[in-house]
Structure 1
Amino acid sequence: MAKKKKDPQSDDEAGTSGEASVRKRKKGDQNEDFEMVDKDEVPDENKPTEPKKAPKIFTTREIGKRYLPREEYLALCIREMLIYLVFMFIVALLAAGHRSKSEYYLSRVMTKLFVETKFQTLTTSEIISYNDINTLEQTWEYFDYYLINTYWDYWYSYTERIYPVLDEDKGIFYENKLMGRPRLRQLRVRNDSCTVPEDFRLMFANCYAEYSSSSESRETYGPGNSSAWSFKSASDLKSLPITGEISTYGGGGYYLDFPDTMEASNNTIRELFQNLWLDRGSRALILQFTTYNTNENIFFTLQLLLELPPTGGVLPYYKIHVGKYLRRDLWDFVLLGFTGLFALFVIMYTVEEIYEFLYFKWYYLSSFWNFLDLVILILSYITLGYFVYSFMVISDEIPHLIKTTSTHACFDNVNNALNSYVTYLAILFFFAAIKVLKYMNFNHSMHQMQTTLSRATKDIACFSVIFFIVFITFAQLGHLLFGSQVQDFRSFVTSVFALLRTAVGDFDYHKIENVNHFLGPLYFFAYIFFIYFILVNMFLAIIIDTYSEVRTSIRDQTKELHTGDIIGQWFRNLLKSCGCGRLVAKYNEPQTAGTEPSPTEDIQNLLRRCGFTEMEIDLFFAKFDIPRDKAISQEEMRNKLLTNLQSDAGKPQVIPEGQERDELGETLMARIRVLEDNITEVNYKIDLIDNKIDAIQQIRSRKRTAQADT
């Protein structure tokens, strides 16, 4: 029998058992004989190291499982879980507190008014919306229609002008007051920002490239008599860059703030149109304004971006910012108080993680949950930093922006600060919710699921490399084949998302088929075959195989307590203290009834001791139609066995006779001899290893004796 080397990590189990004994091998013959001796009889260098105990206030789940008894460890897990659920509740409350249904309703009605509402063009008499704009003519006509939606000087109808609106009621939908003036801003590129090929220099004198900071034009053009014709930097305008479909556009440019009346705005727009404000050098047109709804205390910012690519035409895009910047309700101050509690929790978890790192040293980095704790802490500090930053920006700029009436009130810095805070808060909530899985080990089934995921992680990670190589190859192939004509494949990134959408059935097959009647269907069916029929099923096979292994290994072990058992025990004690002992007795009846081993468990244990595998045990129970996972009485089992044996007795049995029986016996005897030879060889190798170990121990003892003599 071979000796098994003890794992160093098994000290946890030794600590929990509380036994102060180790194994000692007796010298003598080659047979392995072990006896239990006390730790005090073992030399100091051979004593097993006990886990270091931490102070109770710093004892965490990872530290406690090294030396605490099982019940104390589970009680510690429950306490840690309850504290973490409080932390999760605070994070969820902060994340949900910055979003409301009113913000969605305001965004919806504003989007329908300025983006989805259709208008009729004067040149072609087409009925289009903002998203349908494709030419510069439609762009100028949209401005005329847009101005009607901005100025609400009369009730019900601006054309009839029957009921004038009071100054305090003037605003979009009569409820949303404009903060300052709407601003129209243009970004341009130089006429020499690209090079014309020599063959076409007689046809084209100028070349206008795609927008970038290096190709941006900052020269005065046109009449040059106002800010609409003179460039202003982003620091002068206090605006931030905006990202569209083609490029990211800077915060500077040529701008125009609309007057306070519709007639004056029409005259200004007409002047820009007549002096050719938009030409070949124009690359982006941005229309931006901010409103405030006093009923809901909500600020709304709309950015309408019209991109003019080098290929010609117009690509519409819009962006919305909604948020509460003023604290006036009780709920706003409640959120402020919970933010303080959130900061205290972050400090507490920081101290815990620092102590765990000092306790485990670099072994701390070997746990996935420790990495997740570090990610949560980093995101928490980033979130707190953005909260402080947004608080300072709002306190500094909002009072000034509210008082702005004659010029544009730029809320870019305020919007960016609050959006960054809410974004990181949402990401923090996502990772914090994942950590809840750490505490979901309530019962035997959840323990199996967690063990399956942990064991399959390595295989899944290795297979994911193959999966993503094949997936990225298909995405790049789709971009090269269909990117010039199909919108979903216009870039590599959009191709990746287009293929991901096939999982939910959101894929337009006819578009790629129209591009190429042969390669389109071939590409689609090859992707479905390799990704879904092969690779995705491989993922499932890895998980299923790992789950079967985990279930088999756990089935052989003795069932241990889980957090659900401890919670149930506490609940029963609570019922007893409340005088509900009868309920506890009824609850314990099925528990006590199942404590004695059932006949099926006896048979399983007997077959395992005889060397049968789990598959062979399953086949045995299936052959005699005995449920393995269900309790069954001895009488029922006896009847099932007799019934199956009687049914088998009536069947004709084919028994080999004569020469066939002799040949079968010789074959079996040959196999037995081969097996005996293999066993003999294994025993010989074990004896060699045992002799080498004895020799090494003798050499070490001689060295120690020599050192002691010197």
Structure 2
Amino acid sequence: MSAPQEDPAFINETKEKWNRVRNSAITFLALRTEKYLALKQARRARLVECVLYIGFTIIFSYVIIAARDTSKAFNHAQGVREYLIGTEIPSLPGKTFDTVATISELWFWINEVLVERVIWSQGNDLRYPILGNNQFIGPIRIRQARVMELQCKMPPALAYRGSNCYNEYSDATMERRKNPPGTSWPLYGECARMSPTLTDCRNWTSYNPGYGWVPIDSFAGTTYGGGGYEVELPVRKSDTLLLLKDMQKYEWLNDNFTRAVFFEFVLYNPNSNLFLSTLLAVEIPPSGGMVPSTALRVVDLYPQGRKSSQQATALFYLVFGMVIVMTVAEILMVLKHGRDFLKDGYNLITVINIIFFFIVYILDLNSLTTSSKILSKTSNVNDPAIAVKIHQTAYIAKLVYNFNAFNAFLAWLRCLKYMDLISDRTERITATLSACASSVAALLVIFGIFYAGFSIAFFAAFGQDLYRFRTMGMTCLSLFDILMGGGNLQELVQYNKVLGPLLFVSFVVLMALVLLNMFLAIIVQTYSHVCERMEKDQSEVSSSVRWVARKGARSLLKMIFGSGKKKNVVEKQKDDSLLNESELRIIWETDHDAFEVMGISRLSQFLDIADTTGENEMELSAVQDHDKKLDGNQDQGTNEEISHLLMKLLERTSAVMLEQKKLRGIVEGSRPTSRVANAKP
């Protein structure tokens, strides 16, 4: 690029200014060139890492969203929930499945809601859909878990009343015997005398080990397994009503022996190509009463049937490949840095993220394998074992969703690592979060001590009276709700006029007013310290990335909106302490050979290296500061010698290149009047 020649006075003045500072400036630029090249390499590596990881996070997030069509899944589950659970029992106005409290009320729900709404057909199979086009996969099962009658140690004053008791459900107390003691169930072979249409009753009078574990969320944390005394409802409504009548007559369900009743079936909707695992449970604790619960899990067992599912599956394998690459990269980093690798919190997040990714892929592989076997041509979908496998697969799919939710949070949390590339403000915020981690951890220890004490106190004072404090886990959650402003003081005072207000006020004052304000004070103080530190010492790589981004944005805006017509006369720089872009272009033409020896081969590269303000300007004060720094160095003689040798080398190289150009001009028969850019000897 040729120098501006419209103003010779300006060019001469620029050359004079350059000659005054040339020696110091050349040394300054030589060191900046080395630093520039190192920063360029580090900047490129950081940008590549940032772009790849954020791209991976976006693709992974899309896979989570696309793989789970929440609107269809919600509508599918909600429709069945309202159809069975939200319907009132005709004989018991106001009563629904969620509010049944006795065995008799449960029988009313079974006969008047479950049978009437599920087995409405008089057909001979289960292909008749319900609630639109929801078709049954396998039979409808009712299963109960029972306990044995045991001898308990009772107070002597009450011993005359008997010592029989019925404990909680466990492997030691569960009943497995055929026609267990205490029941009036018919013996095997007597079923034909009960009803002419029923010839076999052994399925509900004998223990069935089941077809595998059926997952259910127990309010008491009990695992019931997949076995029990069960019955498969006939496909005809009339047969079903006769069967249920006989079961009720012989007290198949009992308040003392029965600990849980399960209603299990699977629905398939071809319109949405989704399966619905339906598990309704009623648990009967030893203290009496009933605790109903539901688990409606929608699962996509046949992704090949939907285009969106196929795309999500393809992206799923793409993400898996990216996880493999990320794993290899992290292993190489561990081998390179050793234990220091885990000292960085972001690296620890990455390791946890990768572990959960592999757990998800193992569970997904298991689900895909199971679903392919279930839906194969040789599979009998009316087999009860198939329905149990669908229940299990739906539960695994639920686990996958939970792990993916945690993975998504960790993946986006790690994006904070690259926030310093956006602006100095985001860098300060992320640096504050990292710097205050140790102080916040210390505060959390104190917070945990107070929180544990208050949790035990509230549980002991209100655990028997208030539902929200019935367990330690619920108490901890309820206290957090109080901490966020959701407390009900009147409710506490109603059940304990002394401890209610005392514990409530103490908790709010200590936890909300004191400890939370200490937390805010730590954040504010750390932010102030970070701002002071960053004003003195900023990350060179982050600053370099932001600097390049600003220059690129400025150039893009000029390209879009235009910069107006070029001026024929270059304005003189009023500030003599700066070398503006026009002056730097003149200097580039003047000392091009010296800069080329230093490794600066392009004008744009020279402008980037010389730029100290971000506006394509070079501050001469930066050169002076560099000289002072060299003068203050302990090894001053060595620095001066290096500077002297560098200048001699540059001057010698420039002289040799100039002589070669003159000789070339003589050979060509004409004396050059202007220098040729980028000439090579």
Paired residue for 2:636?
Answer: none
Tell me how far apart the structure 2 counterparts of residues 583 and 375 of structure 1 sit (CA, whole Å).
54
Q: Which residue in 2 is equivalent to 1:149?
A: 117
Cα distance in 2 for residues equivalent to 1:466 and 1:78: 40
Equivalent of 2:323, from 330, 335, 346? 346
Look up the equivalent residue of 2:335 and give its one-letter code: L
Aligned counterpart in structure 1 of residue 547 of structure 2, from 550, 557, 565: 565
Residues 467, 535 of structure 1: 8 Å contact kept: yes
Does 1:488 pair with 2:446? Answer: no
* Residue in structure 1 matched with residue 82 of structure 2 by the alignment: 112
- Contact 2:207 2:228 (8 Å CA) reproduced: yes
Deviation at 1:71, TM superposition (A): 4.1
Match in the other structure for 2:313: 336
Whole-Å separation in 1 of the counterparts to 2:79 and 2:575: 63
Q: Tell me which of 222, 227, 234 is aligned to 1:259.
A: 234
Q: Distance in 2 between matches of 1:515 and 1:168?
A: 52
Residue deviations 1:428-470 (CA, integer Å, cap 9, x gap): 1111111111111111111111221111111111111000110
Match of 1:431 in 2: 410
1:307 and 1:315 in contact (8 A); partners too? yes
Q: In the alignment, does 2:316 pair up with 1:316?
A: no
Q: Paired residue for 1:84?
A: 53
Q: CA deviation at 1:257?
A: 0.6
The CA distance in 2 between the partners of 1:567 and 1:385, in whole Å, is 41
Which residue of the other structure, out of 323, 327, 332, is the alignment partner of 1:355? 332
Name the structure 2 match of 1:302: 278
User: Residues 142-174 of structure 1, C-alpha deviation per residue, up to 9 Å, x if partnerless?
Assistant: 1012211102439xxxxxxxxxx9989821113
Specify which structure has the bigger relative contact order, considering alpha-carbon pairs within 8 angstroms and separated by 6 or more residues: 2
Distance 2:459 2:247 in 1: 40
**Structure 2: distance between partners of 1:487 and 1:311:** 15
Displacement of 1:491: 1.0
Q: CA deviation at 1:583?
A: 8.9
Shift of 1:68: 7.3
1:245 corresponds to: 219
- Structure 1 length-normalised TM: 0.68
Q: How does 1:52-451 map to 2 (within 5 A)?
A: 69-100=38-69, 101-121=71-91, 125-145=92-112, 146-153=114-121, 170-192=128-150, 194-221=152-179, 222-225=185-188, 226-233=202-209, 236-246=210-220, 247-279=222-254, 280-326=256-302, 327-399=304-376, 403-405=380-382, 407=384, 409-410=387-388, 411-441=390-420, 442-451=422-431
- Relative to structure 1, the CA distance from residue 516 to residue 584 in structure 2 (aligned partners, 3 Å threshold; closer, same or farther) is farther
Letter paired with 1:273: Q
CA distance in 2, matches of 1:402, 1:501: 50
SS of 1:440's equivalent in the other structure is: helix
Structure 1: how far apart are the matches of 2:101 and 2:218? 16
- Are 2:215 and 2:391, in contact at CA under 8 Å, matched by a contact in 1? no
Distance 1:558 1:174, change over 3 A: closer
Deviations 1:220-248 (A, max 9, x none): 12224311111111xx4234242311233
3-state DSSP of counterpart to 2:165: coil
Three-state SS of the structure 2 residue aligned to 1:302 is: strand
Amino acid at match of 2:233: F
Q: Aligned-pair distance for 1:132?
A: 0.9
Give the Cα separation in 1 of the matches to 2:514 and 2:520: 10
Return the offset for 1:511: 2.7
Query: C-alpha offsets along residues 574-621 of structure 1, whole Å, 9 cap, x if unaligned?
Result: 556x57542999xxxxxx999999xxxxxxxxxxxxxxxxxxxxxxxx
- The offset of 1:268, in angstroms, is 0.9
**Counterpart Cα distance in 2 of 1:112 and 1:593:** 79
Work out the CA distance in 1 between the residues paired with 2:216 and 2:335: 46
Task: Confirm or deny: 8 A CA contact 1:150 1:172 kept in the other structure.
Answer: yes
| Residues 213 and 250 in structure 1, CA contact (< 8 A), matched pair in contact too | no
- Which residue identity does 2:563 align to in structure 1? R
Q: Is contact 1:386–1:417 with CA below 8 Å preserved after alignment? A: yes
Output the amino acid matched with 1:250.
Answer: G
Q: CA deviation at 1:422?
A: 2.6
Equivalenced residues, count: 516
2:653 counterpart residue number: none
Give the Cα–Cα distance (whole angstroms) in 1 for the partners of residues 564 and 134 of structure 2: 61
1:451 match: secondary structure:
helix
Separation (CA, whole Å) in 2 of partners of 1:594 and 1:482: 77
Structure 1 counterpart SS, 2:398: helix
SS of the residue 1:251 aligns to:
coil
1:541 is the counterpart of 2:518: no
Q: Contact conserved, 1:196 with 1:207, CA < 8 A, in 2?
A: no
Question: Is the contact made by 1:242 and 1:251 (CA closer than 8 Å) also made in structure 2?
Answer: no
Q: Which residue of 1 aligns with 2:659?
A: none
Whichever residue aligns with residue 553 of structure 2, its letter is: F
Kindly state the Cα deviation for residue 201 of structure 1 after the two structures are TM-superposed. Answer: 3.2
Q: How far apart are the structure 2 equivalents of 1:256 and 1:595?
A: 97
Given the two structures, how large is their TM-score scaled by the length of structure 2?
A: 0.71
The runs of at least 4 aligned residues of structure 1 exceeding 6 Å deviation read 17-20, 165-169, 592-597
After TM superposition, list the pairs within 5 Å mapping 1:35-46 onto structure 2. Answer: none
Unaligned 5+ runs, structure 2: 1-28, 180-184, 189-201, 567-572, 579-681
SS in structure 2 at match of 1:485: coil
Do the aligned partners of 1:284 and 1:307 also contact (CA within 8 Å) in 2? yes
- Give the C-alpha shift of residue 294 in structure 1: 0.5
One-letter amino acid of the structure 2 residue matched with residue 462 of structure 1: A
User: 2-side partners of 1:534 and 1:566: how far apart?
Assistant: 45
Q: CA contact under 8 A between 2:273 and 2:306: conserved in structure 1? A: no
Q: CA deviation at 1:199?
A: 4.1
Name the Cα RMSD after superposition. Answer: 3.1
Question: How far apart are the structure 1 equivalents of 2:267 and 2:437?
Answer: 50
CA 1:534–1:579: 2 relative to 1, 3 Å: closer
Q: Distance in 1 between matches of 2:266 and 2:30?
A: 69
